[in-house]
């Protein structure tokens, strides 16, 4: 095992459990060093390839991991703990190490589920391996724990007994992935987002709106039919491929898929919601793109943009029928996940930014855990609606209570698809956000109808971020301020490693 770890990009594993006495490491590979061994080793020279951690170090890792996951009273009230599972990419600057950590609950000797964290450690500067291969690593880890959880049901077997399991059922699987990485391992994360759809479906206009907001899109050399731009966001370089939709080009994307579609991290698929005549054609094109993406086995998430849903037509019967029709069609050809559909209009830039940020957040392995923490934070502070925004207005995490749905007048039936609605209310939120930013204050309160919006600026290392709370009364501010530091402690590292 130790030898394998030396030659692998994977430098170690730490498995910890939230026991009676709090977070504690249970298994660690390579084995930790005692302070005495450490002294001896530091006199030798060949210690480069190997991760050297003391018991104190792995305890520190355990505490950090589990405190991101388990904070409070709310988690323990959840009924179905066994179903909760998160992955996150976390930094440990003290050890120059980054982990992909898997959080889940197990039952040990009792009926009460206990929280666990399992970290796969790599060197900080090879962390792009984790981001780029997440989709392949997750099933290996998941399968491993499905059986490992049973092995530790009664008692934790001695380390030497379970070492072969970690080696054969886990490490070797990960090394297989390392041997055929999706992308060459670099220090900087690069992502590719595709914008596809028939010609005239609004792709270029969408990108122009994003551009107007960021004014930092960098135009790159166009490839026949595709115009590529790049954007720096949250520490990563994101390449945006606008795939012109004329018929000749469409064939080319499919035939030369290894250039256009290979290694796409995300696809925005555009359908002009006004143009019913071309729905069939558009669905056919989508299907052929999906076929190719499936062939690459990439699991590329797709966000559906129903474009041209301008506020003056969105409520007409014709458009409602069109939307229903498209939704049914999409549901038919997509079996797996719930569909992510956004109705956008270039006349309401917020609809575009919402859709765009939802796409970016899909690229974040940490989004679910951040949302989990934001939810707990919102419940303890009685916030109806809480948004965590980047300084560009990207929504990095969000929470909506049932009350929020009523306040912003979104029909219950649409709760799963909040942003399907063009929601002029969100345009209001966004305008207030712009106003708040112009004020350059740490905090401000805005009154809207029967409720209050509280904005807070937060600082995560060199990044400014913002929290928006929709609350019933200004008095909530006190609780929010009281709970804020705990929330930030829990979320800071997750935000630092949001997408890169």
Ligand X SMILES: Nc1nc2c(ncn2[C@@H]2O[C@H](COP(=O)(O)OP(=O)(O)O)[C@@H](O)[C@H]2O)c(=O)[nH]1
Q: Enter the DSSP assignment of 473.
A: -
In sequence order, which residues have a C-beta less than 8 Å from that of residue 370 and are 6 or more positions away? 364, 388, 396, 397, 491, 494, 495, 498
299: closest CA among 332, 327, 341, 334? 334
CB of 268 to Mg ion, least distance (A): 13
Question: Contacting ligand X (CB under 6 A), which of 12, 91, 202, 393?
Answer: 202
Question: Contacting ligand X (CB under 6 A), which of 201, 357, 380, 451?
Answer: 201
245: closest CA among 305, 321, 298, 300? 305
Tell me: does residue 252 bind ligand X (CB under 6 A).
no
Backbone angles phi, psi at 226, to 5 degrees: -120, 130
List the Cα angle 363/364/370 in 5-degree steps: 150
Is the CA virtual torsion 407, 413, 419, 421 positive or negative? negative
Tell me: does residue 126 bind Mg ion (CB under 5 A).
no
Q: Nearest-CB residue to Mg ion?
A: 204
CB of 428 to Mg ion, least distance (A): 30
- Residues 336 and 333: their CA atoms lie apart, in Å, by 9
Question: Contacting ligand X (CB under 6 A), which of 91, 245, 359, 393?
Answer: 245
Task: Please report, as residue ranges, which positions from 171 to 200 form the binding site for ligand X (by CB under 6 A).
Answer: 197, 199-200
Q: Enter the DSSP assignment of 273.
A: T
Angle subtended by helix axes 349-362 and 203-214, to nearest 10: 90
In sequence order, which residues have a C-beta less than 8 Å from that of residue 499 and are 6 or more positions away? 131, 189, 191, 233, 234, 235, 236, 360, 363, 364
Task: Please report, as residue ranges, which positions from 132 to 191 form the binding site for Mg ion (by CB under 5 A).
Answer: none
CB of 323 to Mg ion, least distance (A): 23
Helices (H) and strands (E) in the chain, counts: 17, 17
Q: Taking CB within 5 to 8 Å according to partner kind, which of ligand X, Mg ion, none is near residue 200?
A: ligand X
Q: Which stretch binds Mg ion (CB under 5 A): 199-207, 296-304, 319-327, 373-381?
A: 199-207
Tell me: does residue 282 bind ligand X (CB under 6 A).
no
List the beta bridge partners of residue 237: 190, 232
Is the CA virtual torsion 217, 218, 220, 222 positive or negative? positive
Question: Contacting ligand X (CB under 6 A), which of 104, 127, 192, 203?
Answer: 203
CB of 344 to ligand X, least distance (A): 6
Q: In the complex with ligand X, which residue's Cβ is closer, 186 or 246? A: 246
Q: Which stretch binds ligand X (CB under 6 A): 6-14, 61-69, 202-210, 291-299?
A: 202-210
Tell me: does residue 393 bind ligand X (CB under 6 A).
no
Q: In the complex with ligand X, which residue's Cβ is closer, 149 or 200? A: 200
Question: Contacting Mg ion (CB under 5 A), which of 204, 223, 288, 401?
Answer: 204
Cα 233 off chain centre by: 14
- Residues 30 and 283: their CA atoms lie apart, in Å, by 51
Tell me: does residue 11 bind ligand X (CB under 6 A).
no
**How would you classify the pairing of strands 85-92 and 22-29?**
unpaired
CB of 214 to ligand X, least distance (A): 17
**Per-residue binding letters, 338-377, with ligand X (x by CB under 6 A):** -------xx-------------------------------
CB of 354 to ligand X, least distance (A): 13
Q: In the complex with ligand X, which residue's Cβ is closer, 204 or 382? A: 204
Tell me: does residue 99 bind ligand X (CB under 6 A).
no
CB of 210 to ligand X, least distance (A): 12
Residues that bind ligand X (CB under 6 A): 197, 199-205, 245, 270, 307-308, 310, 345-346
């Amino acid at each position: 095992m130790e030898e394998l770890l030396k030659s692998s990009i994977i430098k170690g594993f730490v498995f910890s459990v939230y026991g009676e006495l709090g977070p504690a490491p249970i298994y660690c590979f390579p084995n930790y060093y005692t302070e005495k061994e450490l002294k001896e080793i530091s006199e030798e020279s060949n210690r480069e390839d190997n991760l050297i951690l003391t018991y104190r170090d792995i305890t520190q890792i355990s505490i950090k991991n589990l405190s991101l996951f388990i904070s409070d009273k709310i988690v323990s009230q959840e009924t179905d703990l066994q179903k909760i599972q998160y992955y996150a990419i976390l930094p440990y600057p003290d050890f120059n190490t980054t982990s992909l950590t898997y959080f889940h609950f197990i039952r040990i000797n009792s009926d009460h589920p206990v929280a666990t964290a399992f970290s796969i450690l790599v060197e900080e500067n090879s962390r792009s391996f984790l981001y780029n291969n997440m989709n392949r690593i997750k099933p290996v880890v998941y399968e491993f724990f499905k059986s490992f959880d049973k092995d530790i049901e009664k008692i934790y077997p001695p380390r030497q007994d379970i070492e072969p399991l970690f080696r054969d059922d886990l490490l070797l699987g990960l090394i297989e992935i390392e041997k055929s990485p999706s992308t060459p391992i670099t220090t900087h994360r690069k992502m590719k987002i595709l914008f596809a759809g028939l010609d005239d479906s609004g792709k270029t206009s969408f990108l122009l709106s994003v551009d107007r907001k960021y004014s930092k899109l960098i135009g790159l050399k166009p490839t026949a039919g595709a115009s590529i731009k790049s954007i720096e966001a949250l520490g990563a370089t994101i390449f945006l491929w606008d795939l012109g939709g004329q018929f000749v080009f469409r064939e080319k994307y499919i035939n030369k898929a290894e250039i256009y579609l290979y290694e796409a991290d995300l696809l925005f698929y555009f359908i002009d919601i006004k143009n019913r005549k071309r729905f069939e054609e558009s669905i056919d094109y989508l299907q052929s793109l999906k076929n190719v993406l499936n062939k690459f086995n990439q699991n590329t998430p797709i966000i559906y943009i129903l474009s041209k849903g301008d506020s003056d037509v969105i409520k007409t019967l014709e458009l409602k029928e069109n939307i229903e029709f498209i939704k049914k069609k999409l549901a038919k050809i997509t079996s797996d996940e719930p569909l992510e559909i956004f109705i956008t209009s270039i006349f309401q830039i917020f609809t575009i930014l919402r859709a765009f940020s939802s796409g970016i957040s899909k690229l974040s392995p940490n989004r679910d855990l951040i949302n989990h923490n934001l939810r707990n934070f919102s419940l303890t502070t009685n916030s109806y609606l809480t948004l965590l925004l980047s300084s560009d207005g990207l929504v990095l995490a969000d929470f909506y209570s049932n009350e929020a749905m009523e306040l912003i007048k979104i029909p219950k039936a649409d709760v799963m698809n909040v942003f399907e609605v063009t929601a002029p209310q969100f345009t209001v939120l966004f305008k207030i956000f712009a106003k708040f930013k112009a004020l350059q204050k740490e905090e401000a309160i805005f009154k809207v109808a029967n409720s209050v919006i509280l904005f807070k600026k937060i600082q995560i290392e060199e990044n400014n971020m913002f929290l928006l709370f929709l609350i019933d009364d200004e008095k909530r501010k006190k609780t929010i301020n009281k709970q804020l530091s705990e929330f930030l402690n829990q979320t800071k590292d997750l935000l630092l490693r949001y997408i890169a």
